[in-house]
Amino acid sequence: MEFAELIKTPRADNVVLHRPFYPAVEGTLCLTGHHLILSSRRQDNAEELWLLHSNIDSIEKRFVGSLGTIIIKCKDLRIIQLDIPGMEECLNIASSIEALSTLDSVTLMYPFFYRPMFEVVEDGWRAFLPEREFEHLSSVTNEWRLSYVNKDFSVCPSYPPAVTVPKSIDDEALRRVATFRHGGRFPVLSYYHKKNGMAMMRSSQPLTGTNGRRCKEDSALINATLRAGKRGYIIDTRSLNVAQQARAKGGGFEQEVQYPQWRRIHKSIERYNILQESLIKLVEACNDQSHNMDRWLSKLEASNWLTHIKEILTAACLAAQCIDREGASVLVHGTEGTDSTLQITSLAQIILDPRCRTIRGFEALVEREWLQAGHPFQQRCAQSAYSNSKQKWESPVFFLFLDCVWQILRQFPCSFEFNDQFLILLFEHAYASQFGTFLGNNENERCKLKLPQKTMSLWSWVNRPQELSKFKNPLFEANSLVIWPSVAPQSLQLWEGVFLRWSRSSKFLDEAYEEMNNIIEYNKELQAKVNALRRQLAELETDDGMQESS
Amino acid sequence: MRCPYWYVASQDNLLYRKLSLCTPKCFKKLIILQYRTTLRLILHSQISSIEKQATTATGCPLLIRCKNFQIIQLIIPQERDCHDVYISLIRLARPVKYEELYCFSFNPKLDKEEREQGWKLVGLNEEYNRMGVPNNYWQISDVNRDYQVCDSYPNEVYVPKSATAHIIVGSSKFRSRRRFPALSYYCKDNNASICRSSQPLSGFSARCLEDEQMLQAIRKANPGSNFIYVVDTRPKLNAMANRAAGKGYESEDNYSNIKFQFIGIENIHVMRNSLQKMLEVCELRSPSMSDFLWGLENSGWLKHIKAIMDAGIFIAKAVAEEGVSVLVHCSDGWDRTAQVCSVASLLLDPFYRTMKGFMVLIEKDWVSFGHKFNHRYGNLDGDPKEISPVMDQFIECVWQLMEQFPCAFEFNERFLIHIQHHIYSCQFGNFLCNSQKERRELKIQERTYSLWAHLWKNRADYMNPLYRADHSQTQGTLRPQTAPCNFLYKFWSGMYNRFEKGIHPRQSVTDYLMAVKEETQQLEEELEVLEQRLANLNKVQLYNGKENSKQQDQNTHLGLSIANNSIANTPQDYVNNVKSFPSRSPSQGDEEDSALILTQDNLKSSDPDLSANSDQESGVEDLSCRSPSGGGCLPSEDSGKDPDSDEAVFLTI
């Protein structure tokens, strides 16, 4: 087995583990193909640490005499330290960890080896199929159809086999539109607003180039979503400047002359490594041990993380506003349509659609708007805040989306079925997981890797009642309304649950959460008791009545 | 006042709505602005500044900034009227005599006995007894009877038993404004205490035997420790500069067994400017994230809050963990000293974290020890350089602690906000004047009402639903995280952007939980009744008891009525280029808070046309003493139905 070659020292004794909020412990360190395990000689023999190699973002080695120290920085932002006696052991272990945490081949990843210890009630791989989503749609409208034009991924390699498009547009037209859109990502339905029949579509940029190439079928496709005499909005997630520059590379944007029924709005949302650098700076600031208040605020500011949050949320609110308040259809795209576009379309749905604020609905949203929509998870989440690789494709796009959801959740604490732990779970699993859900960059790759057959879905695990209960928001009360978040700087906060998770104790906040839970549980318990007694009384009293009348 | 309408804009977006004419009569203590069923009161005492702005097509705008952080823009069609209003407001906002203040005409319709009861709600004698003094080490001293020794101190103070009148008087002569060391908090578990004073008049070398004896006496009153901390809350540089003026700080060489410590909290002028800078940031229209964070940092506000907290934490630690007594002072010992002593007490003693205890704490460390409320909060026209948000900072420290320890306080954020409001409102007598002496001379207790009674009456609105007397966070000393903790201090939008409803969380967890708890209580009662009935029924079943079949479904469903969804229903401006003031989201419903609030119920008492109301003053009083509406029952207003709301501004780009 190739893992064995990488593990030169599988085991080291008297290793001391330091990590936030716990006293240091001494134990035996073991390396396996996918895990780093430290077990102390505690009575219950429990492992103190069980860390996936794929969760390791970077490692550093230090030596003082023959005592080596490895500092491990994880993708979930945790930093731990291992003191390993013996220089050779330490070096061996460090190089093994380095090799094991940066395996090239997807098929060597842990999800392919993971054997679940739980019973699968519902297979997560089959829980959110486009067909099922479409069934839901066709119960409210018949203006759309499910097209299998991409069934062998030949029209658009990053799209799923089945996409929803206007009924009036045939597959031939779709093929032609695909040649006019970056990466073949022709406009498809992202969200249908039941309330007024307006649609949100998403795509990639049109390939107009410098000479203003046009495509009849393209305008016909998006016009098919418009009501007679109504205008629609195109939200371009790039600034006008960037969009214009894109023409030189064959890209571009929809010109008014060719799309007279559409109004274009440019919103500037950052992408790629700018976001990654922002994350790196923010995490650096959060881990800074200095005591100076000023430095904290200016570092927070300099990271620009909250600026990105504000921009993304603002654009999403704008899209939602066009649909709900203006009664207009919307097309969202940036360049590739796999990053900022998805942030906007998915957040707009959270604002507009109460279904997306339930656990199941949110899972469906992640599945539909991120996984099936072809967000390249494997590239984007290859490294996190401690990486030095600086690859252009590494970018916390999905992480920012989760943070934005957290911001809305914070402003509407009673309108979500899930709590922030659920969002943290998704953040962790997007970066490192025993499940196959976030492997691969699109459905095409997942299909080739046979993930549904060879790995377990995150949803299969999380949707079991015993797991689910941890992620339920006790304050949840179904809210059928559109929820408009505030995007004022005063309303946006640092997501402490993630960024300060390892640098401040959450004991008192956890206690408060528990107290809140108790208050609500007790209320429910009483409610049940009272109802039972009422029923009992009613029965007794009717019995009496019957006895009396007889 | 010929104009039939004014227009008003405020942060909560009564955007350019027509207002009924306000008659000059209601200008006596406050302005009333009315739009349909919404009334807005601005107490003159709350007015911080009035600014005449450039005339526009609609009229002459007057910008009024309030001390409770409300900002209101009035647009008065006629230039002449505007000037009249401006002149009157300038005058009315700066009364020169105490008798002009609202509390002397405010009448919540309570009789004499109720008023007296109200003033008795918080008693300091009881409080010192609760702490465990007088005892073997501490005694009450009447040396300041009739305020002979120190006119800004209370007439009764607790001092070490071994400190004779001679020592006290001698010490007082060696302290700024004769504010000699006196007991602020006593910890009965270990005899450690917190004492407070002003700076010593030590200059570069002066000594005072009695003052040295006084500090010795404080040390001896804590037999468990052989030294005391002397904490000077000023930055070292400031304290040294004071030496040139014959003041200064204690030298460890002259005082035996002290450990001296500087804790750099800035002076009132720095704090005033800092708040000013922060408020400018809060007022920015559609600021970017960077504008906001930069501005917040440049204001230095959170740094100052942290300095005060750090001082409080240091003292609480000395008392609780080391068992060492602490003497705290700054310059005069009535600003920073009050902040620091009260923060330390709050950390040390769970009692101060209850509603009643918090009132007691403010009475003890602020009111009785001569915090200069009148000067600091500008109740009467005075030197603007004396104004400083000293108490605001203390209140914010409490809020910061509440954020870190959500279960530790019996009261909620609203309680703090309302106390802040009333420090400026002059509606109640508690915070009038600069000292106990002045208050007694004015016969405050006979002529005005106590805020504490008013808050206590409405305590249900101020409860923290997460508080439980037997919870671990409500026991013993609170130990806030100290390192690294910068990110623990957060901007308090609930206070400084309090009137911008649009930026706050649209659903309140506190209100939700309060409603749940209320329902729980009803359920408990019902459960008892049902069990009783069931028992009875079982008993009388033999007799076919007919009397039991009363309507049982009378209250079958106690649904939670939290109208929190309705306010979720308005988008805001997501495009950042709104030209008109104010900048943020359209109306969120007319939610209000206590003293300023009027809902439909009490509109009857105030005829829309106020000139028609014969008894102006009482009409107004009725409105102002109404219990806080709380957030639990917001009047729902879907802006979709509101023809005046202007939303979707983004389309004008």
Q: By the CB < 8 Å criterion, does B578 face chain A?
A: no
Contact A310 B288 (CB under 8 A): yes
| Assigned CATH class of A3-104 | mainly beta
Confidence of residue A540 (pLDDT cuts 50, 70, 90): confident
For residue B544, what pLDDT is reported? 54
pLDDT in tens, B181-201: 999 999 999 999 999 999 999
For residue B166, what pLDDT is reported? 95
Fold of A130-277+305-501: Protein-Tyrosine Phosphatase; Chain A (3.90.190)
- Give the one of A321, A413, A512 whose C-beta lies nearest to B466's C-beta: A512
For residue A276, what pLDDT is reported? 95
pLDDT in tens, A79-99: 999 999 988 999 999 999 999
Q: Is B334 annotated as a binding residue?
A: yes
For residue A291, what pLDDT is reported? 62
Q: By the CB < 8 Å criterion, does A300 face chain B?
A: yes
pLDDT in tens, A15-70: 999 988 888 899 999 999 999 999 887 666 666 789 999 999 999 999 888 889 99
pLDDT in tens, B543-602: 654 444 444 433 334 344 444 444 445 676 676 433 333 322 323 333 333 233 323 333
Residue B86 has pLDDT above 50, yes or no: yes
B48: part of which helix (H) or strand (E)?
strand B47-52
Q: How far is A341 from chain B (nearest CA, A)?
A: 17
Contact B534 A486 (CB under 8 A): no
DSSP string, A404-473: HHHHHHHHSTTS-SB-HHHHHHHHHHHHS-SSSTT-SSSHHHHHHTTHHHHS--HHHHHTSHHHHGGGB-
Copy the structure tokens of residue B619: 């009409």
For residue B536, what pLDDT is reported? 85
Looking at chain A, the domain(s) classified CATH 3.90.190.10 span 130-277+305-501
What gap in Å lies between CA B362 and CA B172, rounded to an integer?
24
Average pLDDT taken over every residue of chain A: 93
Q: Which of these CATH numbers, 3.90.1150.10, 2.30.29.30, 1.10.3720.10, 3.40.50.300, describes B5-94?
A: 2.30.29.30
Selected residue of A486, A511, A542 to mutate for chain B interface (largest B Cβ count, 10 A)? A486
Percentage of residues of chain B with pLDDT beyond 90: 60
Q: At what angle do helices B268-283 and B301-317 cross, to 10 degrees?
A: 130
Domain positions in chain B are 5-94, 112-500
List, edge to edge, every strand of the sheet that includes B71-76. Answer: B17-20, B5-10, B71-76, B60-66, B47-52
Residue A420 has pLDDT above 90, yes or no: yes
Other Cβ atoms less than 10 A from the Cβ of B233: the count is 29
For residue B602, what pLDDT is reported? 32
A331-to-B40, B367, B652 alpha-carbon distances in Å: 43, 62, 19
Catalytic machinery residues of B? 330
Q: What is the dihedral of CA A84, A90, A96, A102, to 10 degrees?
A: 80
Please name the residues between 135 and 154 in chain A that touch chain B, using a CB distance below 8 Å.
none
Domain range B112-500, CATH architecture: Alpha-Beta Complex (3.90)
Lowest mean pLDDT across A237-246, B67-76, B166-175:
B67-76
pLDDT in tens, B435-473: 999 999 999 999 999 999 999 999 999 999 999 999 989
Q: By the CB < 8 Å criterion, does B556 face chain A?
A: yes
Q: How far is B573 from chain A (nearest CA, A)?
A: 9
Residue B94 has pLDDT above 80, yes or no: yes
Residue B620 has pLDDT above 70, yes or no: no
What gap in Å lies between CA A342 and CA B234, rounded to an integer?
54
A311-to-A250, A307, A316, B350 alpha-carbon distances in Å: 27, 6, 9, 43
* Bigger pLDDT: A21 vs A190: A190
Other Cβ atoms less than 10 A from the Cβ of B635: the count is 16
pLDDT in tens, B465-490: 999 999 989 999 999 987 667 788 99
Please name the residues between 519 and 548 in chain A that touch chain B, using a CB distance below 8 Å.
519-520, 522-523, 526-527, 529-530, 533-534, 536-538, 540-541, 544-545, 547-548
Q: How far is A324 from chain B (nearest CA, A)?
A: 10
DSSP structure class, residue B463: B
For residue B177, what pLDDT is reported? 96
Mean pLDDT throughout A298-322?
Answer: 96
Contact B472 A523 (CB under 8 A): no
What gap in Å lies between CA A280 and CA A287, rounded to an integer?
11
- Give the one of A484, A490, A544 whose C-beta lies nearest to B568's C-beta: A484
Mean pLDDT throughout B118-140?
Answer: 95
Lowest mean pLDDT across A10-24, A252-266, B85-99, B389-403:
B85-99
